[in-house]
Amino acid sequence: MSRSSAGFDWISIFIYLILICFGWANIYSASLGTNTGSYFDLGQPYGKQALFIGLSIFLIIIILSIEAKFYQRFSSIIYLVSLLSLAGLFVFGKTISGATSWYSFGSFGIQPSEFAKFATALALAKYLSDIQTNIRKLSHQVQAFIIIAIPALLIIPQPDPGSALVYAAFFFPLYREGLSGFYLVTGLSAVTVFILTLLVGPFWVSGGVLLIGLFLFFRKRKKRPGRVLITLFTIISIGLSFSVNYIFENVFEQRHRDRFNIVLGKEVDSRGIGYNTNQSEIAIGSGGWFGKGWTEGTQTKGHFVPEQHTDYIFSTVGEEWGFLGSAMVVILFVLLLLRLLQLAERQRNQFTRVYGYSVIGILFLHFLVNVGMVIGIFPTVGIPLPFFSYGGSGLWGFTILIFIFIKLDSDRLSY
Amino acid sequence: MRKILLYITILTTGLIFIGRLFYLQVVDTSLAIRSRDNAIKVIYDYPQRGYIYDRNGELMVSNQPSYDVMVIPRNLKPFDTTEFCNILSIEREDLEKKLDKARIYSPMLPSVVIPQLTKSEYAILQEKMRKYEGFYIQKRSLRDYQVDHSANVLGYIAEVNQSKVNSDPYYLSGDLIGRAGVEEYYEELLRGVKGVKYIQKDRFNRDIGPYKEGIYDTLPEKGKDISLTIDAALQAYGTKLMENKRGGIVALEPGSGEILALITAPTYDPAKLVGRKRSPNFTELYYDTIARPLYDRGLLAEYPPGSPFKTLNALIGLQEGIVDTNDKFSCNHGYAYGRGRKLGCHAHRSPLDMIPGIANSCNAYFANVYRRIIEKYPTPQEGMDVWHDHLASFGLGNYLGSDLTTGRPGKIPSSEYYNQIYNYPTYKWYATATISNAIGQGEVLMTPMQLANMTAAIGNKGWYYTPHILKEIEGKPIKDEKFTKRNYTSIDAKHFDPVVEGMHEVYKSGTASTLRIPGIEIAGKTGTAENFAKIDGKRVQLTDHSIFIAFAPVENPKIALAVFVENGYWGSRYAGRIASLMIEKYLKGTITRTDMEEWILNHSLEDEYAKPLSGEPFKINQ
């Protein structure tokens, strides 16, 4: 070990290991069914996942052994390889349940979109940490946006809109590095106007927007933001509000509309499209304070929740470990994210910080969208819960994301 | 701001998620219930209901298998309704109605569609059952009656009603439960405990094995066999004697309080209330508001006791020391008690002391005794309450506390009662105002059960056991202290001797001298009670009720009974004959007085009962 090494962050590694192990226990339960075979039965998801976890350890050792500088130096190449692998799917991809997201090697498949995340994060970090880059300049913003958008655009037509959505996570490093808050305000306003309009209709929303606009317009302030801007904002918001219905009815597909309607409580359909969420809520709700115990979940055993060992794995946690167990998992995720955030903030090297922020953003978005969906406060979007959902590519993708950061962090004293 | 945005976002998300989880898992309990409903199927295993034997081990009630067609509405698939209805011989509309009802009860829990199939219906249906998804056959056991009497004692079995399902978690819709009689009172003994199996289901509603390896499953526990105190042969005989009459017979074993016979007339065959014919048959019995076959006259009918009540007044008189067995009272065809009012009496020699007073049932004698009891104390109120308390010690004026589902308290008036009637203290009342109580008319009401119990207490000379109908559970005698502890009356034992002798004299020389049975010493007392009915709003007197109480043998009695025959005229005419035959049947097993038996079997009172309904003027007491 060189003089500049500060050692690895064992807190993050420890939380990572707990989550991986607990995740496997739940995959075991969710895919157990009625057969009780060996824990390592490779014909069963839990057996395969055990193998994936073993390989992850191998992967971790490799990642931590490689010189930290390597990641910075080779980030562009890694990014290009990743883009090629995504593009190659259009030719060589294997279609599994409607999505051409896999390269197939015998009984195992590799999902390049899971690896594109860390590659994009490295590329973005490289670009932003370049001494010539100034994210406040529009041309540089556009370039950064292109780096993020290419993989996302390659993933959308697979189709895998959920994975593409994750690329929104790169907003966090951009904002941290100086991107104007204007984008944040604009984005949040648009989403708020959109959802409120769906709920209460354009007239009420327009009225509200108009009132807020007038209030800001005539308020006396020392540092008054441009009145032109406020006026523009108000007019666009009202325009958006009135076009929401058009967008919703004509741009969205029926399944998207259904998903929105169910979360917004405008439609109750527990048999059709709402079945997943409904069953998942029943499973979680039946857990009570302490849960039914590991492998004792009746909903889990009966396979009432579809995709339970993948996207809906958190419902198994809720049913079998109860409020205490599922709240514990939420807390562990929050702790891990906050710890990584702490690590990111202590970096002197901008590359590591941007990369760290990207890692946190990606993990957070998965956590937010997946758990939000399973507990019924987000529309159905198919993305995995890091460390919990079954799947080798996903597990390795997240493992690589985190451990490259831990390696970079251990090297922080060399700057 | 740039540094803390992500911090705040992560923390907020964590808090919102934990809040939502808390709501789903701790606050909103309906989800847990839905989970139980859709993931676990519960299958019940119904045990055999316990058998019922009589006191001599004769089997009265056993079981026969029966098959119910059940439905779980959620699992229904379209099926050939025409064929289904043909097999079960029901109308299509009825089927739809029943399925709708089942859906309303619960789409996931089983409901009964067709109860109690016959064996042939079951055989045909069973072959085709797999074609009717959502339906299945539940085997149950039904009662099989070995006797055609005692319907009032045994009660019946019926489908449990919704309010019971709601209040008692043991019962599910469609379960059977004992109603009335022993079946209801000892339901928990007889029903046993149903077994339960929990089956884990998957989302296609397929069974995928026992839930938690069956650790919550239980085996059914067979119902307990019980023996009643009833003597089936005596019960059958009494039922036969009471044919074409209305009234009740209650026979007790004085030494134990065991109910030997509990007969009401008219009655019905208990087998009528079994199987698919149960419902129409029950309706028919229920709506017979004239003969009222479901009304247990032995327990529920409150009649004025008439002359048998005089024995109690004699006992109270002796206990209170206001009369001596040698005190004589004269009778001039009745007892005049001021302002020209008179309590009438029949012709007999006069004056009489206590024993012939009882034997001849002299109204004047007991009017004197009663008046002395009430007037012994400074105020009639005090006297009345002393009198009331003595009677209460015989179990009168209140529920007896038997192990029977129905009963009535009868009535023994107290000073409070008369104070209210006469608006005391504005108006005063004296012993003479209540003089009818002396001869068991007036305000006194008793059920045949109370009359029989009072007779047993006299036969025992001062104590009784609370009458009960359960003798043994699985061959072991009952130990309930309520039925194995003596209740003492407030009358000293020595005072019973002259009264018992008077009652013995009733048979030897008195009002029942024609009813003697060779070889058995009987003590008894006749009664004839006036009664009235409202016809078109007018109070009309009907033919007197015929009443008789008796116990035998006089020393160490084995049976005490009360017989009540509505509108049977004087005491020894119907009730006395029936009582004597019952005693002979029980003590000897055979009937020597075949003349008496024949008379009773051949005499019907149906004409008498038809009189007030005919709408024409009629004569009574003919």
Express each pLDDT in B330-361 by its tens digit.
Answer: 887 777 776 667 777 777 777 888 888 888 88
* B35 closest CB neighbour out of A282, A345, A368: A282
Classify residue A4: in a domain, yes or no: no
Percent of chain B with pLDDT over 70: 96
**Do A24 and A139 share a domain, yes or no?**
yes
Tell if the CB–CB gap between A301 and B39 is shorter than 8 Å: yes
Residue B4 pLDDT level (bands cut at 50, 70, 90): confident
Q: In A286-319, which positions are buried (b, 16+ CB within 10 angstroms) versus exposed (e)?
A: bbbeebbeebebbbbbbbbbebbbbbbbbbbbbb
Distance CA B297, CA A4 (A): 106
* Amino acid A34: pLDDT: 54
Residues A299 and A385 in one domain: yes
Other C-beta atoms lying within 10 Å of the C-beta of residue B330: 12
In terms of Cα–Cα distance, which of B331, B332, B315 is closest to B323? B315
Judged by DSSP in three states, B462 sits in coil
Instruction: Tell whether A256 is covered by a domain.
Output: no
| B610 class by beta-carbon count within 10 Å (0-12 exposed, 13-18 middle, 19+ buried) | exposed
Pairwise CB contact (< 8 Å): B7 & A333: no
From chain A, pick out residues whose CB is under 8 angstroms from the CB of B201: 302
Give domain status of residue A151, yes or no: yes
Instruction: Identify the residue with better confidence: B275 or B363.
Output: B363
Cβ–Cβ below 8 Å for B7 and A341: yes
The verdict on A173 and A191 lying in the same domain is no
Domains and CATH numbers, chain B: 41-228 (3.90.1310.10), 303-502 (3.40.710.10)
Residues A151 and A240 in one domain: no
Please tell me the distance from the alpha carbon of residue B156 to that of residue B294, in angstroms, as a whole number.
11
Q: What is the mean pLDDT of chain B?
A: 84
Let me know whether A33 and A166 are in one domain. Answer: yes
Nearest to B39 among A298, A327, A368 (CB): A298
- Mean pLDDT throughout B261-270? 88
**For A302, which of B21, B32, B203 is closest by C-beta distance?**
B203
What pLDDT was estimated at residue B32? 66
CB contact under 8 A, B20 and A286: no
Residue A282 lies in a domain: no
What percent of chain A clears pLDDT 70, i.e. is strictly above it?
92
Q: Compute the average pLDDT of residues B234-241.
A: 90
* Interface contact B4, partner A, CB < 8 A: no
Residues of A whose CB is below 8 A from B21:
284, 318, 323, 326-327, 330, 375
In tens, the pLDDT along A195-230 reads 888 777 788 888 888 888 888 777 766 555 677 778
10 Å CB burial of residue B298 (0-12, 13-18, 19+) is buried
pLDDT digits (tens, 9 = 90+) for A162-182: 888 899 999 999 999 988 888
- Is the residue at A78 inside a domain? yes
Q: How confident is the model at residue A2 (pLDDT cuts 50, 70, 90)?
A: very low
Q: Are B552 and B587 in contact (CB under 8 A)?
A: yes
Q: Is the pLDDT of residue B395 over 50?
A: yes
Q: What is the mean pLDDT of residues B137-166?
A: 84
Residues near B286 by beta carbon (within 8 Å), at least 6 away in sequence: B294
* Segment B240-249 mean pLDDT: 89
Q: Both A170 and A195 in a single domain? A: no
Pick the residue of A32, A296, A330, A358 with the most B CBs within 10 A to test the interface with B by mutation. Answer: A330
Does residue A138 lie within any of the structural domains?
A: yes
Q: Contact at 8 Å (CB) between A323 and A388?
A: no
Higher pLDDT, B98 or A97: B98
Mean pLDDT, residues B301-328 taken together: 86
* Contacts within 8 Å (CB) and 24+ apart, A61-66: A63/A400, A63/A403, A63/A404, A63/A407, A64/A8, A64/A403, A64/A406, A64/A407, A64/A410, A66/A407
pLDDT single digits (tens) B63-84 = 888 888 888 888 888 888 888 8
Q: Is pLDDT of B37 > 70?
A: no
pLDDT greater than 90 at residue A194: no
Asked whether residue A335 is domain-assigned, the answer is yes
What the block records as the tokens of A252 is 């969205």
B8 to chain A, closest Cα gap in Å: 10
Q: Quick one: A109 and A196 in the same domain? A: no
* B415 neighbors B385 (Cβ within 8 angstroms): yes
User: pLDDT tens, B80-134?
Assistant: 888 888 888 888 888 888 888 888 877 777 788 887 787 778 888 888 888 888 8
Out of A37-41, A140-144, B427-431, give the one with best mean pLDDT: A140-144
Please judge whether B24 and A364 are an interchain contact, meaning their C-beta atoms are less than 8 angstroms apart.
no
Same-domain check for residues A14 and A83: yes
For residues B166 and B106, is the Cβ–Cβ distance under 8 A? no
B39 touches chain A (CB under 8 A): yes
pLDDT at position A3: 46
Number of domains in chain A: 2
Q: Is the pLDDT of residue B194 over 90?
A: no
Domain enclosing residue A221, as ranges: 187-251
Residue A347 included in any domain: yes
Q: Does residue A240 sit in the same domain as residue A364?
A: no
A105 and A210 belong to one structural domain: no
d(C-alpha B560, C-alpha B323), whole Å: 27
**pLDDT tens-digit profile of A276-329?**
777 888 888 888 888 888 887 777 777 777 788 888 999 999 999 999 999 999
Same domain membership, residue A161 and residue A196? no
pLDDT: which is higher, A47 or A338: A338
pLDDT of residue A267: 58
Predicted local confidence at residue B505, as pLDDT:
84
Are A305 and A323 in a shared domain? yes
pLDDT tens readout for residues B44-53: 778 888 899 9
